[in-house]
Structure 1
């Protein structure tokens, strides 16, 4: 039987915060995770394979030291789903680069994922996603929303009530454009402290949306990013994979 999680090295995620992006409108969640991995120079520790994951293969997406100097053969390639960690920040990020297949296999994958994180005794799971901006009907309010289970609301009460985002109505049955985020959240239930954090956004160049998401996520995660100014700002580092975000420049022969 094929292993779902293929670890490059032994890991211990006890007490870690875990970020999982949902494939969503504008890919804002994936872009935010790219920012975290590149800025914190997180180390890839596992490749994830499952029938629910559409496979892809490409060159490495990050060029920082913990990736380029790694001895594992998987260090120089990018696959559909990978796990990165920062031991110093006690943060783990899954990066997902292809859609997931709906149905029973998706439920099975989430079950295996949740069991792994429970066994590792992680502190909390943060699911990132986006929602179509035209679904925001309360004009003039924040574009950031959250939905947290009881454990997360107790443990992160101060962070959640800081006014940067507002609570999403739990009676809503769908996050339009949010992919599988709500399904994963509901499957986690109360087994682990968890929340969904999302931004109203639209398709296009969503790098600024991702930067804003990381800025607000930083406070939820206890200020994991070092300040680079007296005003409390910090510098985000873009991964090398973003150099080809919009493809090659058009050939001059067209003109």
Structure 2
């Protein structure tokens, strides 16, 4: 690996120069209900030509080691890995951090600061944070009404021309402020209060139940692809599922 970087307890090793990440779209799935953002990113990596370009190591996270989403030298995954999609010159490249585990107890604030330090270092055009909320929080009793199920919502900056806001239901910023005690809530509070971020910031959220979230992940993935203006998005029947989803280690 070419480059080694360290910030506090976060260390990174890269196959490409971090300057490549400038003016890209930064995508980060926050560990949340049903792990739907992580599953959607797995599908993103599996169905498009993302390249594994780096490994991150944070002492703030619960350690993880398992069967990865891709084959080859990166077939073993850790808690944080970096993937890169280079696109045509008229489209922003995409850098994605796949996160597998939540912070250890008492380390959430540190982890939030570490990820935001990467945003400040890489200077993307747009940072997109992915999350999922409990369906139990929509209305009393946790019953999802028609029109609410599988709706992906976003808060998009007016300057975020790199994405397609029409692909997803746009809502006010307050939609993402409901659960201040979740990991995403800590990210959102920090992002809102930061005046020095070098880019626009938005979030995508979806209400889900815990359980088999495969179909939720496929739907989330499809909407995310359309939001990111990715071409040739597979339909629900042709989405390729990662081998790691069926492997037991």
TM-score by length of structure 1 reads 0.76
Query: Which residue of structure 2 aligns with residue 140 of structure 1?
Result: 146
Q: Which has the larger radius of gyration?
A: 1
Distance 1:27 1:172, change over 3 A: closer
**1:109 CA drift (Å):** 3.0
Separation in 2 of the partners of 1:199 and 1:171?
Answer: 11
Kept in 2: contact 1:17–1:124 (CA 8 A): yes
Partner of residue 15 from structure 2, selected from 8, 23, 36: 8
Structure 1 unmatched ranges of 5 or more: 249-255
Alpha carbon RMSD of aligned pairs, Å? 2.9
Kept in 2: contact 1:37–1:93 (CA 8 A): no
Kept in 2: contact 1:54–1:101 (CA 8 A): yes
Partner of residue 95 from structure 2, selected from 86, 92, 96: 92
Matches within 5 A, 1:1-255: 4-11=11-18, 12-63=20-71, 68=72, 75-88=74-87, 90-103=93-106, 105-137=107-139, 139-142=145-148, 143-148=151-156, 152-156=157-161, 159-160=164-165, 162=166, 164-168=168-172, 170=174, 173-175=177-179, 179-189=182-192, 191=197, 192-221=199-228, 223-227=229-233, 235-244=238-247, 247=248
Structure 2 unmatched ranges of 5 or more: 1-5
**1:158 CA drift (Å):** 8.4
Distance 1:96 1:107, change over 3 A: same
Kept in 1: contact 2:154–2:204 (CA 8 A): yes
TM-score by length of structure 2 reads 0.78
Separation in 2 of the partners of 1:172 and 1:41?
Answer: 31
